[in-house]
Structure 1
């Protein structure tokens, strides 16, 4: 999940609490080229005010026009865009693809509030869930996700859909450096919630990135705090300062983070592994979890190239791809 989806559900919940009816849209499936993946969300009010996105803009424009015209008053439905509008709106995507969108009406009532609260709880990393939506009767239920699998699954007779909801992507960057600044910007663009930690006053003065949570404390303190690192979290240390990087790694291996990495050459990484075993008490399995050196081997030299390699490797692991599959 993307951090944008957290913002979407937060705003939808706020609107419902304020007495507003909300329409929640979820991408169910894509065909060919499509700008948003299944599971991505957008929320809107009847007056056209909205948050989130479904495409590059053309779909949102059509949907909001229909909403403000009052043609989407049904409780639950599916709209198909692209493919010359076959079976749905006459909107063709510039990329030539197609997608299906689940549209749900959440009236301003306690049941809507409860559903959105649990959904937000899941997105914030506390619980992995499956939303089951009855496309015929309109019932919505939430269940613990115990099996995993595709983000969106349609029932063979198209009568229902189940949508897996889990922790939104989060990146914790230990330490400020030229690489970490660019890495933070890349990650924010990719939809990650980004937290940067560094207790050094000179580092704090040189960090200026809009939309990023900066915390002037040791990264290890943040990483080790309950609830901060969940299964959708990546942790990277990018300073070349062992006092920051090593402590961050020692805490990170005790979390369910899906990616842990630290910057440095192969020689530096070997020395760090020895320190972490000797001084940090890390086991061989702990060391194996750490990507040292961090990132894909792209021959990177500049801070921007290194940051690109770091984020590319994080996305690779997030997508479940082995290095040899690239």
Structure 2
């Protein structure tokens, strides 16, 4: 499943190779109601071709019209859409009095721009997350290595710059099919994750497809051991690996492989007693160190008092989002 950000970057590279100037607009912050989160991209040319989204329609139309009239000629521009005394463009009116702050960068079709967007494409394809450091006072741009964890946008007002995370789209690898896994897949799709389900057991993937209905078309199903998929490079730094089958032949092997990847979240379902026994088993049979075992969330998920498969899946995905956003448990 191609992430929207990757579509934006690939389109930018096409235009640059064609010798076309382009503008990259990034959502810096939102106040009130806004359909896109900070970090969302829109790429456009002056003649109106574009890809991506800032607000779902109204802001894009205004931005493209202003661009066609020759606005945003500076290398970097910071603007605010919405209501209030400190906005640049009070129209169009955003829902519920919202405010949308946007960073607009102008790129000439030169070697530096091609190099910049090529690096962004590599990051989005899983070759290592990056941070873009962009100054709206000096128009300087720099690419920095990053761990990929935390908010996509960090504003540094004193330095008049923004740090913008760029990395692969969030991926959920479900190690095996179970009732809880079905609900996790549904939640993950709604949260914008790429979902991959691995299960070698006869009939299990068919059960998943039947339970998901039309949503199944948006999921990759792989009829093999999850541990093999993981060992062969199935995880990058934006991957969460979740095992929910209660079958040690699937769950334990997946954990043994996942701890040797860059996955930001690794978790397996089970009670505290089961988890303690699994930790001992992974150390004894799997040769995992204390540091390896410490990476595994077990019992998995937030402690919500969950009982049903849907409630357990909600607790699992809530914990995945917590870790992805860099929030400690005691900070909830």
Q: TM-score range by the shorter chain?
A: 0.7 to 0.9
Q: Distance in 2 between matches of 1:234 and 1:133?
A: 29
Quote the residue 1:132 is aligned against.
133
TM-score, normalisation: structure 2 = 0.83
Distance 1:252 1:323, change over 3 A: same
**Deviation (angstroms), 1:169:** 2.3
- Say whether 1:176 aligns with 2:177: yes
TM-score, normalisation: structure 1 = 0.84
- Checking the alignment, whether the CA contact within 8 Å between 2:128 and 2:237 is kept in structure 1 is no
Quote the residue 2:112 is aligned against.
111
Q: Distance in 2 between matches of 1:170 and 1:191?
A: 9
**Deviation (angstroms), 1:296:** 1.5
User: Which runs of 5 or more structure 1 residues have no equivalent in the other structure?
Assistant: none
Q: Distance in 1 between matches of 2:325 and 2:148?
A: 17
- Checking the alignment, whether the CA contact within 8 Å between 2:149 and 2:324 is kept in structure 1 is no
Quote the residue 2:318 is aligned against.
312
**Deviation (angstroms), 1:293:** 2.1
User: Which runs of 5 or more structure 2 residues have no equivalent in the other structure?
Assistant: 210-215
Distance 1:47 1:262, change over 3 A: farther
Q: Distance in 1 between matches of 2:17 and 2:124?
A: 19
* Alignment deviations for residues 207-256 of structure 1 (CA, whole Å, 9 cap, x no partner): 33233233222211222234x43332211012222211110001111123
SS at match of 1:206: helix
Q: Distance in 2 between matches of 1:214 and 1:108?
A: 40
**Deviation (angstroms), 1:134:** 4.2
**Deviation (angstroms), 1:78:** 1.8
* Alignment deviations for residues 143-169 of structure 1 (CA, whole Å, 9 cap, x no partner): 3359998633345263x4443434442
Q: Where does 1:126-275 land on structure 2 (aligned, <5 Å)?
A: 126-136=127-137, 138-145=139-146, 151-156=153-158, 158=160, 160-208=161-209, 209-226=216-233, 228-275=234-281
Matched positions, count: 323
Q: Distance in 1 between matches of 2:270 and 2:149?
A: 34
Q: Distance in 1 between matches of 2:85 and 2:65?
A: 16
Distance 1:322 1:157, change over 3 A: closer
**Deviation (angstroms), 1:137:** 5.4
Quote the residue 1:286 is aligned against.
292
Distance 1:200 1:232, change over 3 A: same
SS at match of 1:311: helix
- Checking the alignment, whether the CA contact within 8 Å between 1:3 and 1:169 is kept in structure 2 is no
Quote the residue 1:65 is aligned against.
65
Q: State the superposition RMSD in angstroms.
A: 3.0
